[in-house]
Chain A
């Protein structure tokens, strides 16, 4: 790795997923509290730093005025300032600041712990090493659907989020929308969110969960209600329905589907086919996703080729094994996968 390369790729990017620039609730309230505390923290630090520097560098009185020397034996006595007033004043200011911080915390806690109005949508999140299973509930149970890693929500609508884990502890987090909620095996934790602006927001696992903790990202796309409805309808549809009826599929795609169902269906599901696996992400609408490997890399045919043939090389430790497929078989599978809109 050459130094010029490193310098070339380091650039300030305004797209950092910062919780100090919130795009919804409860992140908005959390950020407000955060900014207030940041200002106090910086102010306290600056004041202490100035006091410290002045204390070290300030001019002292002539030592003779604070000591008395005994001429006969050469000993001297120091006149001391007690300095206790520093502690009294310092403590008083500290207590006032802390009381302010604590009050702000309690107020903020009261407003961010629960959604202001009952959530209209519920998403059930199941965390796996190292991807997110998403089930969008619906008042009509048969209209609930399952997807992975990429979630859409309507703007301005409170969403209830229920999280659970099948393996180890993870933490569900989209900095610009909501703070962390740990995902702990054996319990279902509940939180909420509301996106106030359209956009796609990066989320990531925030609790160390093993080898690929670094690659357990997801995305929440907030969009107007009508677009969300369209997305939801498309996700609900089974794969077979999403293809034009009687479409004359290219033979390569059909071959890919056959290979997929025989080789990949132990772990992956494509609704409408015989692939019913639940261990890995549901791939019914894989082609509608922006990335693969839980935010690892863009969802392009070339990347899919690499992923299907050797996922281990791209995401070491991923639970998807290295597939011993011939190159043209991989190509067939990928051409099938790219039809899964």
Chain B
């Protein structure tokens, strides 16, 4: 395993992959390890902020009738505490681990889209700062993290509080979506040769599942947030019962997102345990296949349980029984995990390190949170439990137990890899026991408070209700827990300087990240590893594990520029050599301009908004610099034979990236149309204006379909080496697209006389749905024109990127077309059929 490479090779790889020092390097770096560490530190800071907010609330509730906080302060605190912990800590901290670990675990030099990775991080920072900037005018979000309407509507909450919430979470949604797409494509395309699906570490399964869930769940939140912002700023009626809207529409959209999100913020954390626990038990995980399948199953089932947040909203009993049952079924994959971990410890030889203790603590906390979850799934009893402190206890056992404890285990486990130094074990034990006792003193009595009838979200309570003593205990637990977190910070700061040097593999762990130095070099692996088993570093001692012999240290080199292998998704056989992008300032610029756009929207200032959007568009163009390029068939000789460079179709990451964009956008429009169907079905009388004229829309539909056919024809011609015909076809497509938009504008103009977006819920839906589709047509036009305009230039450097840009634009254009057909069928044709 010893590196047999010339030092000169390492030096040249170092020069190729290293980020230059200084502010420039700071803003432009796309190294997944740098980004991962930034995610971890930033999310941890948000954990501390959320903790301070909790500490203030616990002081207020320490005794009956205290006045440390005003009701408004308390309401802002519990709202921002929820938003911070759920959106700005729990998910990003896991992105941090996954960003840092994925390429190292999978045997790659970076993520599939390093620049997208940087964008994801900067957007997260931008969204976090944006939401917290509301503190400066004293108007932090104050309607709960769940933000129920109509309380969150302008009529009842007239400040800017909820605008910060809506826009901040939309911005964060972009960050999470591009991050998720990046993980999915990384998983399918950039693993080491031989890293087949049945060899993936479980954290990879967890993050993959979470990422797929995000693509389909987040658009539901985005739709809800857009509706909310439009209602508040422009007087639409999505949630307004007096004009055809429904408050429950928000709850459905929010929880269709919200419950899957719970699994997003626990599955990767459970993965941490499934990967780290075996190291300290000196044996492989029991039931790897079961645990991997359970992870995926949880992600899927998570979409079928949202109604259990709404048991008390007056839904008929049959529906309640169905969702109650579904919510209990989801306990089954959780049980798989618990018994797999138990058996791993039982049959292992535990080494009781701090990381191990945190994982054992996690199993107990997870069990408590799990069984209390089953209690809440029992509908009639949930009518009592819901909105009491029992739920507060349950959700904190789940989130602290399944997210925070594995995260701390992860800190102790991978800190040596990230920094090269060990965390102190003695302090670590104090750290664990303080947090473990603290968390139970803090949250266990809350079950009791709930059973004693204490509702959630009250800023104070009377002394005669029998809740005072328990609340005091809870507050003491909270401060004990805080001391535990403080001990960790002390440990981390001390160990950064004075920790014991770690070496490559201080825990004698089995996975690839431990085969490289601590901290790893910028290029991760001097030669790309070739993986032959699930435990590449334990192959010599595990006779039953396939008996493979992974090649580490003298595999394929790939050193002409930033390169790594692209592989076939299932078997991980190399099928392309990928040219990886260099550092870039554009992700940062895009993130900052989108944050400015949000500031402009909340202020509101049209100039800021427009400027932000303009810079954002220019940043995207500069970033991708798509150019009109002919199809190229460049190949390169590797250990795996002649491989194409970058490839095309599903061999290229570009294709996969666009597929992810289309998947999440399709979900977005599906939620828009579902909202239309829901409100239309809930309306007792047919909506007055709801039978749009087909005289303009029908020809317009034909025009858009024609444009797609023309573009497809052009693509074919380009494929066969006729770029001028391709160029002509693209031009015709652009013209047809413009005609479509003009006709739509004309149609809007005549319809506005009878139905306006502010007339009723129908008007709001009609213009929002068709408007969003129009915006997508416009985006498609910008892409087409950009590619065309840059067509006069010759491709500056090799590769197939010009052709990939054309293939992607074509794909996107077809998608926008299909969306229109759905919109046309739902909004134009169906009302006439009924």
| A87 near B290: Cβ-Cβ < 8 Å | yes
| B371 near A44: Cβ-Cβ < 8 Å | yes
Contacts of A179 in B (CB 8 A): 312, 380-384, 386
- Contact code string A66-105 (vs B, CB < 8 Å = 1, else 0): 0100000001111011111011011100110010011011
Q: Report which of B71, B283, B345, B468 forms a contact with A9, defined as CB distance below 8 A.
A: B468
Contacts of B463 in A (CB 8 A): 9
| A1 near B66: Cβ-Cβ < 8 Å | yes
Task: Tell me which of B322-330, B691-699, B727-735, B750-758 binds A.
Answer: B322-330
| B70 near A45: Cβ-Cβ < 8 Å | no
CB-based nearest B residue for A108? B380
B120 to chain A, nearest CB (A): 32
Task: Tell me which of A47-55, A268-276, A280-288, A320-328 binds B.
Answer: A47-55
Contact A211 to B71, CB < 8 A, known contacts A13-B466, A17-B465, A87-B343: yes
Contacts of B290 in A (CB 8 A): 84, 87
| A95 near B332: Cβ-Cβ < 8 Å | yes
Q: Report which of A20, A67, A76, A180 forms a contact with B312, defined as CB distance below 8 A.
A: A180
CA distance A102 to B308 in the complex (A): 14
- Contact code string B91-102 (vs A, CB < 8 Å = 1, else 0): 000000000000
Q: Report which of B143, B332, B457, B468 forms a contact with A11, defined as CB distance below 8 A.
A: B468
B388 within 8 A of A: yes
| A108 near B378: Cβ-Cβ < 8 Å | yes
| A109 near B465: Cβ-Cβ < 8 Å | no
Within B324-345, the residues touching A (CB, 8 Å) are 324-325, 328-329, 331-332, 335-336, 338-340, 342-345
Contacts of B490 in A (CB 8 A): none
| B469 near A49: Cβ-Cβ < 8 Å | no
Contacts of B364 in A (CB 8 A): 45, 48-49, 52
Contacts of A60 in B (CB 8 A): 349
| B340 near A86: Cβ-Cβ < 8 Å | yes
Within A164-187, the residues touching B (CB, 8 Å) are 167-169, 171, 173, 175, 178-182, 184-187
B519 within 8 A of A: no
| B346 near A83: Cβ-Cβ < 8 Å | yes
Q: Report which of B144, B246, B340 forms a contact with A186, defined as CB distance below 8 A.
A: B246
| A105 near B472: Cβ-Cβ < 8 Å | no
Q: Report which of A29, A41, A206 forms a contact with B375, defined as CB distance below 8 A.
A: A41
Q: Report which of B312, B340, B344, B371 forms a contact with A181, defined as CB distance below 8 A.
A: B312
B379 within 8 A of A: yes
B445 to chain A, nearest CB (A): 12
Contact A181 to B314, CB < 8 A, known contacts A41-B374, A187-B241: yes
Contacts of A105 in B (CB 8 A): 321, 324-325, 328, 377-381
- Contact code string A12-50 (vs B, CB < 8 Å = 1, else 0): 111111111000001101110110011011001100110
Q: Report which of A56, A82, A207, A214 forms a contact with B461, defined as CB distance below 8 A.
A: A214
Query: How big is the A interface, by class?
Result: 35 or more
A171 to chain B, nearest CB (A): 6
| B331 near A94: Cβ-Cβ < 8 Å | yes
| A94 near B335: Cβ-Cβ < 8 Å | yes
Contact A86 to B286, CB < 8 A, known contacts A44-B367, A185-B247: yes
Task: Tell me which of B45-53, B535-543, B764-772, B782-790 binds A.
Answer: B535-543
Contact A37 to B388, CB < 8 A, known contacts A1-B63, A86-B342, A186-B241: no
A140 within 8 A of B: no
B451 within 8 A of A: yes
| B156 near A45: Cβ-Cβ < 8 Å | no
B284 within 8 A of A: yes
B248 within 8 A of A: yes
B62 within 8 A of A: yes
Contact A90 to B335, CB < 8 A, known contacts A9-B64, A16-B452, A52-B342: yes
A163 to chain B, nearest CB (A): 9
Q: Report which of B286, B379, B464 forms a contact with A109, defined as CB distance below 8 A.
A: B379
B150 within 8 A of A: yes
Contacts of A204 in B (CB 8 A): 453, 455
| B472 near A316: Cβ-Cβ < 8 Å | no
A210 within 8 A of B: yes
CA distance A211 to B321 in the complex (A): 34
Q: Report which of A16, A48, A49, A75 forms a contact with B465, defined as CB distance below 8 A.
A: A16
| A175 near B453: Cβ-Cβ < 8 Å | yes
| B148 near A208: Cβ-Cβ < 8 Å | yes
Contacts of B312 in A (CB 8 A): 171, 179-182
Contacts of A178 in B (CB 8 A): 383
CB-based nearest B residue for A185? B241
Within B503-557, the residues touching A (CB, 8 Å) are 540-544
Q: Report which of B151, B350, B472, B540 forms a contact with A6, defined as CB distance below 8 A.
A: B472
Q: Report which of A20, A30, A48, A316 forms a contact with B71, defined as CB distance below 8 A.
A: A316
CA distance A51 to B148 in the complex (A): 42
B342 to chain A, nearest CB (A): 6
Query: How big is the B interface, by class?
Result: 35 or more
| B336 near A91: Cβ-Cβ < 8 Å | yes
CB-based nearest B residue for A106? B321
Q: Report which of B336, B378, B466 forms a contact with A12, defined as CB distance below 8 A.
A: B466
CB-based nearest B residue for A34? B381
B117 to chain A, nearest CB (A): 36
A212 within 8 A of B: yes
| A317 near B72: Cβ-Cβ < 8 Å | yes
| B313 near A182: Cβ-Cβ < 8 Å | yes
B387 within 8 A of A: yes
CA distance A38 to B372 in the complex (A): 8
Contact A13 to B465, CB < 8 A, known contacts A169-B150, A179-B384, A180-B386: yes
Q: Report which of B332, B381, B472 forms a contact with A94, defined as CB distance below 8 A.
A: B332
B832 within 8 A of A: no
Contacts of A187 in B (CB 8 A): 241, 248, 314
B317 within 8 A of A: yes
CA distance A58 to B457 in the complex (A): 44
Contacts of A210 in B (CB 8 A): 75, 151, 156
| B383 near A29: Cβ-Cβ < 8 Å | no
| A171 near B336: Cβ-Cβ < 8 Å | no
| A87 near B340: Cβ-Cβ < 8 Å | yes
| A91 near B542: Cβ-Cβ < 8 Å | no
Contacts of B385 in A (CB 8 A): 34
CA distance A129 to B151 in the complex (A): 10
CB-based nearest B residue for A104? B378
| B469 near A10: Cβ-Cβ < 8 Å | yes
B331 to chain A, nearest CB (A): 6
Contacts of A5 in B (CB 8 A): 63
Contact A109 to B66, CB < 8 A, known contacts A48-B342, A52-B342, A91-B339: no
A259 within 8 A of B: no
- Contact code string B423-458 (vs A, CB < 8 Å = 1, else 0): 000000000000000000000000000011111111
CA distance A212 to B156 in the complex (A): 13
CB-based nearest B residue for A89? B339
| A19 near B451: Cβ-Cβ < 8 Å | yes
Q: Which of B245, B451, B456: most chain A Cβ within 10 A?
A: B451
CA distance A18 to B455 in the complex (A): 11
Within A198-241, the residues touching B (CB, 8 Å) are 202, 204-214
Contacts of A9 in B (CB 8 A): 63-64, 463, 468
Q: Can you list the 6 inter-chain pairs with the closest CB atoms, starting with the nearest?
A: A186-B241, A179-B383, A13-B466, A90-B339, A16-B466, A214-B458
25 contacts between A and B (CB under 8 A): A1-B66, A6-B63, A12-B469, A16-B454, A37-B374, A49-B364, A55-B350, A58-B346, A77-B540, A83-B346, A84-B290, A86-B339, A87-B286, A91-B336, A94-B332, A102-B328, A112-B383, A167-B150, A169-B247, A179-B380, A179-B381, A180-B312, A180-B383, A187-B241, A208-B387
Question: What 7 new A-B contacts, CB under 8 Å, besides A80-B544, A87-B336?
Answer: A16-B465, A45-B371, A48-B338, A55-B350, A77-B541, A78-B542, A186-B245
Chain B interfacial positions (CB closer than 8 Å to A): 62-64, 66, 68, 70-72, 75, 143-144, 148, 150-151, 156, 241-242, 245-248, 282-284, 286-287, 290, 312-314, 317, 320-321, 324-325, 328-329, 331-332, 335-336, 338-340, 342-347, 349-350, 352, 360, 363-364, 367-368, 371-372, 374-375, 377-388, 451-461, 463-469, 472, 540-544
